[in-house]
Amino acid sequence: MGWMVLIHPAKTCQYFRFQRTIRRESRTMGKGCGSELDESQEGRAIQSQCMSEPPGWGASRKSKKDPFIRMEECWEAQWQQFLQMLQSAHTGGNLEASPWEDPKAFLASFEQVAQACRWPRGEWAARLLPALSGGGEEAFRTLETRDQEDYGKVKAAILRGEALRTEAQRQHFRQFCCQEVGDPRRIHSQLQELCCQWLRAEKRTKEQILELLILEQFLASLLSDLQSWIQARRPDTCSQVVVLLEDFLKTQQDPLII
């Protein structure tokens, strides 16, 4: 979902354009590293990445400057613009949706930007810090000061916190119980709210929701010890569970009955 920050219609397009550019141009950079771009390809790449040209851009475009350096500068400028709009949204109270509603997607987009800008890996945590909010910021604060500088540990903490929140939402829905049926409409409304908090139907596709439901039943069908072992590895899809089970079975001498 990428930069899911909705401030107002005029700025919403910028976020979605930025996200599409990240996906498209990160693939271009992955293929183009170590090779030269011809003049027309270079122009299209730079134009597609920049929403507006900074002062002096036309002059620098005619220079002999390395096209990859100019691309890095453009990505850097867009990241700073994103941070400014994010900060403005938080300050003005106009944030309708947070990028941290889907931490995995947000971090994937951030990593693509970091690679496009060629930031040293050791700087990634510091670069991410200004964008942290909500659950991401809470997870960051649980880490020791030394670990807060390690992007790998920051990412792991954020994803672990998200997994715990999702599991708690699932359990709230599954374990809902009413002592008496005094107000059927209120009960239905509560169940509907709990289900939406867990499945997030407004954000996920039909296929993603089906995958989530099948994954839940897949895990529930396993023996309790094996279920705990699988859940500790936080699989996101049924195919990941299958791979984990196959690896587990390879270590067992006797067939495991599920």
Contacts 24+ apart (CB under 8 A), 25-32: 25/49, 25/71, 25/116, 26/112, 26/115, 26/116, 29/68, 29/71, 29/115, 29/116
Half-sphere exposure of 147 (CA within 13 A, CB side): 13
Residues in the chain: 258
Centroid of chain to Cα 162: 11
Given this model, what pLDDT does residue 101 score? 81
Of 77 and 39, more confident: 77
- Residue pLDDT, tens place only, 144-201: 999 999 999 999 999 999 999 999 999 999 999 887 767 888 899 999 999 999 999 8
Residue 255 has pLDDT above 90, yes or no: no
